[in-house]
Amino acid sequence: MRQSSLVVIANRLPLDDNAAPDGACEWRRSPGGLASALHAILEQAPATWVGWAGGVGPAPALPDIGTLRLQPVSLTEDDLRGYYEGFANSTLWPLYHDAVQQPTFDRGWWETYRTVNRRFAEAAAAVAEPGAAVWVQDYHLQLVPAMLRELRPDLLIGFFMHVPFPPPELYMQLPRRVELLRGMLGADLVGFQREQAAHNVAQLAKKLLGAHATDDAITVGGRTVRTGAFPVSIDVAEMRALATRPDVVSQAGQLRHSLGAPKRVLLSVDRLDYTKGIEHRLTAYSELLRDGFVKVRDTVMVQVAVPSRERVESYRDLRDRIEGEVGRINGEYGRVGEPAIHYLNQPFARSDLAALYLTADVMVVTPLRDGMNLVAKEFVAAREDGAGALVLSEFAGAAAELEQAFLVNPHDVDGLKATLLRAMEADGEDLAARMSSMRRHLTEHDIMAWARAYLSALDHSGRLAERLTAL
Ligand code: ADP
Ligand code: G6P
């Protein structure tokens, strides 16, 4: 088995399977996200990425992506139900997002979650060279750091939580709260999107483990785990390059024309998830239509909602509710050839997303809770023209950085309506000033800066510096 000095473990591999023209399955590096985030650094290590390739049954043989090796972990149908759909996405995901949807505590799922976490830990242990750095990602794999430490005490172990980490009152509901906390604290460095999360973990470590804990470090079992905030970002240069490509700019013009050349385009782009606040947003928009503040003739809303986790009942129910509501709003307020909402339930290429961002006068990003929300950052990165307004939920991690957005509490539908109107009516100078300071922030805080900040903090003693030359 080939070994690496840097190993990333995430539930998903940075891959999409696409049908090749002859119908065969063809693997491609997935666009955006963590894959491109880490690409520049992973290229230099060389590194291995351990993850699930999607689907069930034996893991497929996968080609390297450049110098990045892929180590697939297989899941059975039962694993998929108990680990991915069950414990990860029906217990932890809703609980960690402020329980905006009731979490399900099913005792059967825990064993599967633990078994699958062990499988990931073993796969990583097998490909990590002596003294390597292993970087574990997200809530799916919260037990992996401690398991890995047990298997390979020589490793430098990092854990990064992409989603929020909840306040103690909520976390305390978890039947397996102690094991999960101990699992994560198996790492040398635990990173979060926001400082509040590190504070929450410190409180819990004191309460549940009797640890000595501050917001930067937790000492438990004679070992000190460092914690901190490392807000994740996007590949700003990639989004800028896309959004200034002549074909993308002309596609944006074409899109506006196809939308009926309205005075204003409102855009939302989400995974179809109950944390994204899509229903609250639709309520606000439909009331603006009802009360005559917005007219279908001159304002158009585009809602992109890409299907997600569709085997989980709460996601299917949400889709039914949203589609019912979009149908109702279009039935009530649309005109022939002029729907009030253009609803697109499909994945788009990065260049199509860039064209959509360019078309938007108001980007509406109103999750009820979100670890970061990369869409908000992508929109800002795309707007080289300095135009466009960003309406952003206070409950998205991005709000801590994009302070010049029109910040809003999405639970407050009246406040949301007022903020939408303010953003629609803002003058160009105000918008340009807001956009320019948000863009400045993003330029300095792109995805490379994030990865570099995290990995240098992980390797603070410099023991891997030679091997991680990209740092
Ligand atoms: P989450 O991680 O919860 O899905 P984010 O906003 O942080 O939310 O990230 C979503 C990512 O998915 C962004 O990079 C965005 O560009 C991408 N995305 C969203 N909708 C689509 C779509 N319809 N097609 C392709 N990519 C999409
Ligand atoms: C969030 C999670 C990621 C996850 C993504 C898509 O961003 O933090 O870990 O990969 O959603 O969800 P999925 O269930 O399709 O992987």
Two tokens, residue 99? 């329980």
Do 398 and 252 share a domain, yes or no? yes
**Amino acid at the residue 52:** W
Please tell me the distance from the alpha carbon of residue 179 to that of residue 197, in angstroms, as a whole number: 18
pLDDT at 334 over 80: yes
Question: Domain tally for the chain?
Answer: 2
Q: Which atom of ligand 1 is nearest to the CA of 308?
A: 4
Active site (annotated) includes residue 162: yes
Q: Are 133 and 468 in contact (CB under 8 A)?
A: yes
Reported as a pLDDT band with limits 50, 70 and 90, residue 37 is low
Q: Which carries the bigger pLDDT value, residue 51 or residue 14?
A: 51
Whether 195 is in a domain gets the answer yes
Of 97, 140, 162, 280, which is the active-site residue? 162
Strands (E), 262-345: 264-271, 299-306, 341-344
Identify the DSSP state of 140: G
Angle, alpha carbons 333-338-340 (nearest 5°): 40
Reported as a pLDDT band with limits 50, 70 and 90, residue 66 is confident
Please work out whether the CB of residue 376 comes within 6 Å of at least one atom of ligand 1: no
Do 248 and 170 share a domain, yes or no? no
pLDDT at 61 over 70: yes
Sheet holding 362-365, edge to edge: 341-344, 299-306, 264-271, 362-365, 389-393, 406-408
Distance of CA 96 from the midpoint of ligand 2 (Å): 13
Whether 363 is in a domain gets the answer yes
Q: Are 270 and 410 in contact (CB under 8 A)?
A: no
Residue 113 is predicted with a pLDDT of 98
Do 207 and 265 share a domain, yes or no? no
Do 263 and 115 share a domain, yes or no? no
Active site (annotated) includes residue 370: yes
Do 343 and 227 share a domain, yes or no? no
pLDDT at 471 over 70: no
Whether 1 is in a domain gets the answer no
Whether 364 is in a domain gets the answer yes
Containing structural domain, residue 402: 236-444
Q: Which carries the bigger pLDDT value, residue 32 or residue 361?
A: 361
Do 220 and 267 share a domain, yes or no? no
pLDDT at 32 over 60: no
pLDDT at 407 over 80: yes
Whether 379 is in a domain gets the answer yes
Identify the DSSP state of 391: E
Do 277 and 223 share a domain, yes or no? no
Please work out whether the CB of residue 306 comes within 6 Å of at least one atom of ligand 1: yes
CATH code where residue 118 lies? 3.40.50.2000
Considering the chain, what is the average pLDDT of its residues? 94
Residue 267 is predicted with a pLDDT of 98
Task: State pLDDT tens for residues 81-128.
Answer: 999 999 999 999 999 999 999 999 999 999 999 999 999 999 999 999
Reported as a pLDDT band with limits 50, 70 and 90, residue 468 is low
Nearest ligand by distance to the CA of 12 = 2
Do 419 and 463 share a domain, yes or no? no
Residue 1 is predicted with a pLDDT of 76
Distance of CA 466 from the midpoint of ligand 2 (Å): 32
Do 218 and 260 share a domain, yes or no? no
Most ligand 2 atoms within 8 A of CB, residue of 8, 49, 271, 372 to mutate: 271
Task: State pLDDT tens for residues 418-454.
Answer: 999 999 999 999 999 999 999 999 999 999 899 999 9
Residue 64 is predicted with a pLDDT of 87
**Amino acid at the residue 133:** A
Do 223 and 248 share a domain, yes or no? no
Please work out whether the CB of residue 378 comes within 6 Å of at least one atom of ligand 1: yes
Do 45 and 168 share a domain, yes or no? yes
Please tell me the distance from the alpha carbon of residue 135 to that of residue 10, in angstroms, as a whole number: 9
Do 226 and 77 share a domain, yes or no? yes
pTM: 0.96
Query: Is the ipTM here above 0.90?
Result: yes
Whether 171 is in a domain gets the answer yes
By C-alpha distance, which of 127, 86, 88 is closest to 108? 86
Residue 366 is predicted with a pLDDT of 98
Task: State pLDDT tens for residues 176-189.
Answer: 999 999 999 999 99
State mean pLDDT over 401-414.
98
